[in-house]
Amino acid sequence: MEIKKLDTPILVSDSAIVRLKECGNVTEIMYSETRSRGGYITKLDKEHYCDNRTGEVFEFKHLENRAQDLSNVAKSLAQGRDLLNTNIIDVSYCRWVTLTYAENMTDPKKLLFDFQNFNKRCRSIYGNYEYITAAEPQSRGAWHLHAVFIFDHKAPYMENKIVADCWKQGFVTVKRLDDVDNVGAYLTAYLGDMELSEAQQANIYVNPNKELKTVEYEDDNGNKQSKRYVKGARLRMYPPGFHIFRWSKGIKKPVVSLTSYKQAKEKASSAKLTFSKTVALEDEEKDFKNTLQYEYYNSIRK
């Protein structure tokens, strides 16, 4: 499958059917030139599937890491972005907590177990809240965890020392999300890219012509600095089938509907168009072509 980003957007008629996804302050409108009428395959068991177009049975190809299945990786990150944006309407109602181990802890099952105990201790101190967590692998093989706590009121002050006492496994940082108007994009950016030095330490091959990006920032003294990142490098470190995101029972899902392009634009009319992209898909072997167009609107972007 060849995927090409187009410089010029396509013209979408007002009567065209689009997918409208409402995620809190962020609204997505997606138009597809070709609409799917059903799945091409039926899963038979863990090892086999049937191609519904020919009736043939094939074996699944099992992957070594998440980076080899970019479509599923993209779906996981998109789901995380949507959940964060849907549930965080006011950033003053939430806190971003990062949990780090003092030791080189490499067991993802222990990560889940330790968070469950940590969560019980935190709720006994700070009361009820909803949460969304994202696990992040490090170049040395260790895990740490990002968690967003979402309260139904202004978030309380959470002192690092008290939160660390709840964690009991190492170090914590607690941050506010001031001046962030797209929380989903802001937080999931940490999960895919990796600093160049860390990628080199993990012996990850880097294509300098395609995978490197430079990010500028200000240090604690106000001086401008820059770091080089390898796009998508961290995704190669997730084991296949690993659930990057987990969330509590009260987390809301985005509202997704099919409607006309005109009605979708009317729903998003009070928000600012912040980003759009048009992508062409082509698979010559399967005689398949399609063009997708995405528009993103943010109701709190100035």
Query: Which pLDDT value is given to residue 235?
Result: 73
Confirm if 178 and 91 have CB atoms less than 8 A apart. yes
Question: Cα(268)–Cα(104) distance, rounded to whole angstroms?
Answer: 47
Confidence band (pLDDT; 50, 70, 90) for 37?
low
Question: Cα(275)–Cα(245) distance, rounded to whole angstroms?
Answer: 25
- Provide the 3-class DSSP secondary structure of residue 291: strand
Question: Cα(171)–Cα(174) distance, rounded to whole angstroms?
Answer: 10
Q: Which residue has tokens 């109602």? A: 93
Question: Cα(87)–Cα(75) distance, rounded to whole angstroms?
Answer: 18
Q: Which residues have CB under 8 Å from 73's CB, separation 6+?
A: 66, 67, 232, 235, 238
Q: Which pTM value belongs to this model?
A: 0.80
CA distances in angstroms from 200 to 2, 68, 105, 142, listed in the order given: 29, 19, 21, 16
Q: Would the pLDDT of 219 be above 80? A: no
Quick one: DSSP state of residue 239? P
195 or 169, which is more confident: 169
Q: Average per-residue pLDDT in the chain?
A: 85
- Packing angle between helix 108-126 and helix 160-167, nearest 10 degrees? 130
Residue pLDDT, tens place only, 160-181:
999 999 999 999 999 999 888 8
Q: At 232, which helix (H) or strand (E)?
A: none
Confidence band (pLDDT; 50, 70, 90) for 299?
very high
Q: Where along the chain do its domains lie? A: 195-231
Question: Cα(98)–Cα(144) distance, rounded to whole angstroms?
Answer: 7
Strand order through the sheet with 288-298: 2-6, 272-283, 288-298, 26-32, 17-23, 255-260
Range from 20-34, 48-62, 107-121, 157-171 carrying the lowest mean pLDDT:
48-62
